Amino acid sequence: MEDILSDKSPEGAWERAKAVLIATLKTPEEQSRADRYFSMITKVEKDGVSFFLKVSNSTAAEFLNANYAEKVKLCLGLMGEGEDVKVSFTVDDSPPPPPPVEEEPAPRYNTQESEVRVNHEAGARPGFISTMPLKEEYTFEEFVSGPSNSWAYSAAQGVVQNPGEKSYNPLFIHGGTGLGKTHLMQAIGNELKKKNKNLAVCYITAETLLNEYINCLKNGTINSFRDKYRNVDCLLIDDVQFLQRKNQFQEEFFNTFNYLQGKNHQIVMTSDMAPKDLKVLDERLISRFIGGLVQEIDSPSYETRLAILKKKTEGKLPVIPLSTLNFIAENIKSHVRAMEGALAKVKMVMLANPGEEIPQIMLERLLKDFIESDENIRRITVADIQSACAKHFNVSVEDILSNIRPQTIVNARLIAMYIAKKYTTLSSSDVGRAFNKSHATVLSGVKSIQGRIATENELRESLDVILQELGLRE
Ligand code: ADP
Ligand code: MG
């Protein structure tokens, strides 16, 4: 792969701006969201000072324009594209490339155990056009396996060896943000495509899938939606936690899921939570999710972190001294994406001062943001907060998410909202969504509980205990 730092094309400029933008976002949640949306970009075009970043659907384009266009403009400016650079996210309306001509019908899966998984409509869909392309660098070779991810890694390889095999179908990988779930999932897709280029491998985020579904409902093309997803050989759905609370879509998803599983077509999913914690998901779906193999990815150990850094830098310029890699591995502990952000910053400084090692004191200053956010903002999710509050007040998470109003439940609900608003960087609308409430309800709820905490000792004590429980207080 070309090093993005020396690539002068519009794509290169965009890759650099993207790395800096993601690196400047403070929390893993924000980074993960930006990464998810940016991965929907299929093409980068430049006309004079205008950059056009193309995505496959209008909902994503609108979201990207509203939330990221300004930041991207700033970062492109910083990357030497000039201050008057213009940025817009637009829908890619160029026709998809024609499917390759098929030489001979091939079995879908290259495996000897053909009775289970051979394609019965062999070669029916060469050149399936996925909404979201696979990143070619997300391979098994580029993935460092260590104790934190070895089970998930072996399971992913198992899927490649025996796709559709019942004990691996579906494969559900869960774990915190930036720990390699998307990488591993796409490695499965890339490897399967390598074995059989005609295999219809579809990678998609649950959010994009949902957007596509909504668009198809609007346009009356739901049948083509069904046809498309029921014809894939391997469906890779990233971040399924987004399916929570989308009831009508869950029904559609359930049917597609059953259809594919019934035909022994492989399904792989990732989520930031274990299936059992996807509280607001239809129970039928949860039981399907855990019917195959569930594997967790944890934060990597020091040795794995160092091995990942070595892998990401080996054979690339600028050469980064081992002491610098050590510093990053020692100080950035929670997730790999933050290490990559740190690495991007270090590379830029080293390119500006070729051949000079960055002194420790400079490194500390340079990587302060990553180190601080890594240590101070624990990876706390709204689900953690909701469970801790439910446990403390002896109510259920369902009670918290409902609208019922006995005082204990109201207290649990409001304290949970207050913690979510204060100790994560989620917006009021995000918190609202996580609680089945409007953003106005969150704002007024948080305001009312703040007043009560100041005057009601018992409530204040409850809050302290829960914060301690969540590791948010010394
Ligand atoms: P997630 O989907 O869990 O949020 P990603 O798969 O997007 O995380 O990983 C974030 C970045 O970290 C990617 O660039 C990925 O290549 C890298 N990464 C994570 N884990 C590993 C690993 N074990 N080996 C190599 N790279 C990794
Ligand atoms: Mg991911």
**DSSP per-residue string spanning 326-342:** HHHHHH--S-HHHHHHH
Higher per-residue pLDDT: 218 or 373 = 218
What is the reported pLDDT for 202? 94
Pocket test for ligand 1, best of 39, 157, 336, 381 (most atoms within 8 A of CB): 336
Greatest alpha-carbon span in the chain? 77
Rounded to whole angstroms, the Cα distance separating 344 from 300 reads 20
State the SS3 of 252-283: HHHHHHHHHHHCCCEEEEEECCCHHHCCCCCH
User: Can you tell me the mean pLDDT for 238-246?
Assistant: 86
- Segment among 122-136, 142-156, 179-193, 337-351 with least mean pLDDT: 122-136
Per-residue pLDDT band at 425 (split at 50, 70, 90): low
3-class state of residue 162 by DSSP? coil
Winning range, highest mean pLDDT, from 53-67, 128-142, 196-210, 424-438: 196-210
| Cα distance between residue 381 and residue 378, in whole Å | 9
Between residues 318 and 354, the one the model is more confident about: 318
pLDDT above 70 coverage of the chain, percent: 88
Quick one: angle between helices 322-331 and 302-313, nearest 10? 140
Task: Give nearest CA residue, ligand 1 atom 16.
Answer: 183
Asked whether 144 lines ligand 1 (CB < 6 A), one says yes
Give the contacts of 423 (CB within 8 A, at least 6 positions apart). Answer: 380, 385, 467, 470, 472
For residues 235 and 266, the answer to whether their CB atoms sit within 8 Å is: yes
Which atom of ligand 1 sits closest to the CA of residue 179?
3
pLDDT above 50 for 122: no
Tokens of 267: 């399904």
Ligand nearest the Cα of residue 180 is 1
Give Cα separations from 323 to 11, 159, 329 (angstroms).
32, 38, 10
How far apart are the CA of 380 and the centre of ligand 2, in A? 17
Is there an atom of ligand 1 within 6 Å of 174 CB? no
- DSSP letters of 351-393? HHSTTPPPPHHHHHHHTHHHHHHHHHS----HHHHHHHHHHHH
183 C-beta closer than 6 A to ligand 1: yes
Contact 106, 115 (CB under 8 A): no
What distance in angstroms lies between residue 178's CA and the mean position of ligand 1's atoms? 6
Q: Measured between alpha carbons, how far is 417 from 434 in angstroms, rounded to an integer?
A: 9
Per-residue pLDDT, 99: 44
Residue 459: Cβ-neighbour burial (10 angstroms; 0-12, 13-18, 19+)? middle
Select from 32, 237, 333, 337 the residue to mutate for testing ligand 1; criterion: most ligand atoms less than 8 Å from CB.
337
C-alpha 332/C-alpha 304 separation (Å) is: 12
187 lines ligand 1 (CB under 6 A): no
Which whole number is the average pLDDT over 83-93?
Answer: 87
pTM: 0.64
d(CA 278, CA 276): 6
Sheet containing 234-238: which strands, arranged edge to edge? 201-205, 234-238, 266-271, 171-175, 293-297
Whether residue 159 is predicted with pLDDT greater than 90 in this model: the reply is yes
Q: Is the pLDDT of residue 296 over 70?
A: yes
26-30, 171-175, 379-383: the lowest-pLDDT one: 26-30
> Ligand 2 mean position to 187 CA, how many Å?
13
Looking at 77-81, 304-308, 317-321, 455-459, which range is the least confident one?
A: 77-81
Q: Ligand 2 centre and the CA of 178: distance in Å?
A: 7
**Ligand 1 within 6 A of CB of 143:** yes
Residue 128: what pLDDT? 62
What's the one-letter identity of residue 453? I
- Ligand 1: distance of its center to the CA of 400 in Å? 33
Percent of the chain with pLDDT over 90: 47
Indicate if ligand 1 lies below 6 Å from the C-beta of 178: yes
Residue 384: which of 35, 29, 26 has the closest Cα? 29
179 Cβ closer than 6 Å to some ligand 1 atom: yes
Give the whole-angstrom CA distance, residue 50 versus residue 70. Answer: 13
Q: Which of 22-36, 65-79, 96-110, 258-272 bottoms out in mean pLDDT, i.e. has the lowest?
A: 96-110
Instruction: Please answer whether residues 39 and 132 qualify as being in contact, where contact means their C-beta atoms are separated by less than 8 angstroms.
Output: yes
Name the pLDDT band for 133 (thresholds 50, 70, 90): confident
Query: Given pLDDT bands bounded at 50, 70 and 90, which one contains residue 373?
Result: low
Kindly list the distances between the CA atom of residue 220 and the CA atoms of 58, 131, 212, 213, 226, in Å, as whole numbers in the listed order.
16, 19, 12, 10, 12
| Mean pLDDT value across residues 51-71 | 87
Tokens of 80: 């030497």
Confirm if 271 and 172 have CB atoms less than 8 A apart.
Answer: yes
Q: Are 446 and 365 in contact (CB under 8 A)?
A: no
Q: Give pLDDT, residue 84.
A: 87
pLDDT reading at 405 higher than 60: yes
Out of 89-103, 146-160, 231-245, give the one with best mean pLDDT. Answer: 146-160
Output the CA 182–ligand 1 centroid distance in Å.
Answer: 7
| 175 alpha carbon, closest ligand | 1
181 ligand 1 Cβ < 6 A: yes
Band (100; pLDDT cuts 50, 70, 90): very low
**Atom of ligand 1 lying closest to residue 300 CA:** 23
- Ligand 1, atom 6: nearest CA belongs to which residue? 180
pLDDT at 372: 59
The SS3 of residue 123 is: coil
- Calculate the alpha carbon distances from 221 to 22, 34, 94, 196, 207 in Å: 36, 29, 20, 30, 19
Question: What average pLDDT is seen over the chain?
Answer: 85
Q: Which ligand is nearest to the CA of 174?
A: 1
What pLDDT was estimated at residue 165? 93
Nearest CA, atom 11, ligand 1: 337
Q: Is the pLDDT of residue 219 over 90?
A: yes
Is residue 268's pLDDT more than 90?
A: yes
* Span 336-365, pLDDT tens digits: 888 998 998 898 888 888 888 899 888 988
182 lines ligand 1 (CB under 6 A): yes
Which residue, chain included where needed, has tokens 């930036």? 178
Angstrom distance (rounded) from CA 250 to CA 246: 6
| First-to-final CA distance of the chain | 45
